[in-house]
Amino acid sequence: MAQITVTGLSTVYPNGVRAVDGLDLTVADGEFFALLGPSGCGKTTLLRTIAGLEQATEGTLSIGDRDVTSVEPGKRNVAMVFQDYALFPHMTVTENIAYPLRVRRQPKATQQEVAARTAASLSLSALLERRPGQLSGGQQQRVALARAVAMDADVLLLDEPLSNLDARLRLEARTFLKRLQRELGVTTVFVTHDQAEALALADRIAVMEAGRIRQLGSPREVFARPADTFVANFIGSTPMNLLDGVVEGGQVAVAGATLPAPLPLDDGTKVVVGIRPEYLALGADGITGTVSTVENLGVSSLLTLECPDGTLVGVTVREQHEPAVGARVTVAPEAGRLLLYGKEDGRLL
Ligand code: ATP
């Protein structure tokens, strides 16, 4: 069992920055867990605190049944892959992968055998004698992963593992990583600022801001029902529409239209209406505006509608239904897709 349990955890740097601020979190055994958030939200610090590279200032941290809060990094049985892979440039691929076994003074034959087997599972067999300088970014990333895997650790920690790869390699490496994690069944925490990556890979995602968790849930949950407007803004490849609205007789007045309110609220309540561009469909009844821009997204296009009251609304349409700039169109949210947030606190109502 390698469940990670974090209780009331804070990590404060000597300069007073509270990078992790009283976090409670449980990562299940075998789970693929993403820490997602903008630069500076504390996700790397949390990862490094789990690894023992930063010392927790408050709270406790357990791996399995063992309290490791004060255990030194080398004795936590965690393997970490760094953003820049941190391979040893003077060592071959085999030597890099076998390094953790060498440190533990395993017999030479075991080192060779584990390195060869791990390399094979990561499609590196043809590269065993090369040095890191003779490898592509994607290959280096796999060597770093192989070295971590060869440690046979209870927990795998990945710090932005795909960020050094170009867009196409990234997609390939994503699939690879997901398959590897499934096969190994090792509890894995990975840090990313890329919401698409977190959605694609993780079993669950913690969206962080300022050292705290804003929302924790499955990719579907955080995408379909962001807990607040911060998460709503952060998740999704096209930003969610967040429009000012007022409740009136079971309806919400928004962008010059009235739409059915998804929950009963007092008349006059000011809300923020959240609708993803993907969940707005062209129709006869709903929000009407003039198409001011059309952005090509490949199979679909992102329209910006300018409504008579000046509100701008993003709408995604399939490319064959794309109206021209200047056209007047009406769009309505698909059933169950309209979310309401508190005007003051930005929390999902
Ligand atoms: P990024 O994606 O940019 O790496 P992050 O979400 O991983 O960001 P952290 O690197 O954990 O964020 O940083 C969290 C906060 O702690 C930031 O305000 C950062 O400036 C601060 N910080 C990070 N490392 C240190 C350090 N060694 N000393 C002091 N402050 C630090």
Domain of 281: which CATH number? 2.40.50.140
Going by alpha carbons, the residue nearest to atom 2 of ligand 1 is: 39
CA 92, 95, 98, 100 dihedral sign is: negative
If asked whether residues 305 and 207 sit together in one domain, one would say no
Contact (CB, 8 A) for 95 and 164: no
For residues 288 and 331, what is the distance between their CA atoms, to the nearest angstrom? 6
Whether 320 shows a pLDDT value over 80: the answer reads: no
If asked whether residues 181 and 314 sit together in one domain, one would say no
ipTM comes to 0.96
24-52 pLDDT, tens digit per residue, is 999 999 999 999 999 999 999 999 999 99
* Residues in the ligand 1 pocket, defined by CB under 6 Å: 13, 15, 17, 19, 37, 39-45, 193
What are the structure tokens assigned to 62, written together?
Answer: 């357990």
Whether 261 shows a pLDDT value over 80: the answer reads: yes
Dist. CA 13 → ligand 1 center (Å): 9
In a domain, 257, yes or no: yes
If asked whether residues 145 and 284 sit together in one domain, one would say no
Residue with tokens 């440190």: 103
Contact (CB, 8 A) for 301 and 295: yes
> What is the share, in percent, of the chain residues with pLDDT greater than 70?
100
Instruction: Ligand 1 pocket test: pick from 45, 191, 207 the residue with the most ligand atoms within 8 Å of its Cβ.
Output: 45
State residue 103's pLDDT score: 85
Question: In CATH, what number is assigned to the domain containing residue 70?
Answer: 3.40.50.300
Which ligand 1 atom is the nearest neighbour of the CA of 48? Answer: 11
Going by alpha carbons, the residue nearest to atom 16 of ligand 1 is: 19
Instruction: Ligand 1 pocket test: pick from 43, 55, 194, 212 the residue with the most ligand atoms within 8 Å of its Cβ.
Output: 43
Last residue of a domain, one of 163, 194, 226: 226
Contact (CB, 8 A) for 275 and 225: no
Going by alpha carbons, the residue nearest to atom 19 of ligand 1 is: 40
Q: Which CB contacts under 8 angstroms, 24+ apart, belong to 118-127?
A: 118/146, 118/149, 118/150, 119/93, 119/94, 119/146, 121/146, 121/149, 121/180, 121/183, 122/146, 122/149, 122/176, 122/180, 124/93, 124/97, 127/93
If asked whether residues 11 and 96 sit together in one domain, one would say yes
Phi and psi at residue 110, to the nearest 5°: -65, -45
Going by alpha carbons, the residue nearest to atom 20 of ligand 1 is: 40
Helix count (H) and strand count (E) of the chain?
A: 8, 19
Q: Domain limits at 332?
A: 241-342
On the 0-12 / 13-18 / 19+ scale of CB atoms within 10 A, 90 is: exposed
183-230 pLDDT, tens digit per residue, is 889 999 999 999 999 999 999 999 999 999 999 999 999 999 999 999
Q: Which amino acid belongs to residue 149?
A: V
Dist. CA 255 → ligand 1 center (Å): 39
Number of compact structural domains in the chain = 2
Q: Return the exposure string of 188-218: e unless at least 16 CB atoms fall within 10 Å of the residue's CB, then b.
A: bbbbbbebebbbbbbebbbbbbebbbbbbbe
